[in-house]
Amino acid sequence: MAGSLNKVLLIGRLGADPEIKQMVNGKSVARLSLATSQTWKDKNTGEKKEKTEWHRVVVFNEGLVNVIQQYLKKGAQIYVEGQLTTRKWKDEQSGQDKYSTEIVLQGYNSTLTMLGGGNTGGGIQNDTTQQNNIEDSPQMSNDMDDEIPF
């Protein structure tokens, strides 16, 4: 059995435009606010209910940051694979220790794929075989039945 696994898979929509910042070392980092929603019907009232969870996604990979900056906007639907990380920081006003839990896309085995809408389904991956790979998939035709030979 493997010692442990830290892998997060999410599909959601951006709640705001991506925030791109320069780090001290001159490299860029992207911060995303990703919403995932769950809907159900209340058994007692029959009313439709919805619960939204908000996730902080931080992207350190330069190639991904560039694509995020160019193509992602508020409302875009994306799929991300990364690692869950909790970092500790000090609140400047109160001096108290604070904690932030984030999904981090960095290094190998991280993926960001644009889904739906005006995006053409191009995926951005960073894994052991395709570092900084940007798949420029041709736009999928809605008339896919025309290409099937039977």
Q: Which residues of the chain fall short of a pLDDT of 70?
A: 1, 117-150
- The pLDDT value recorded for residue 140 is 33
- The pLDDT value recorded for residue 102 is 96
- The pLDDT value recorded for residue 17 is 97
- The pLDDT value recorded for residue 117 is 60
State the DSSP H helix or E strand holding residue 78, giving kind and residue range, or none if neither.
strand 77-90
CATH level 2 (architecture), domain 8-37+49-136: Beta Barrel (2.40)
- The pLDDT value recorded for residue 14 is 97
Distance CA 19, CA 47 (A): 36
The full set of domain ranges for the chain reads: 8-37+49-136
CB 81 within 8 A of CB 123: no
Question: Residue 80 to residues 35, 55, 96, 117: CA-CA distances in angstroms?
Answer: 12, 11, 32, 17
Distance CA 124, CA 105 (A): 11
CB 41 within 8 A of CB 48: yes
Distance CA 92, CA 65 (A): 28
User: What global pTM score does this model have?
Assistant: 0.71
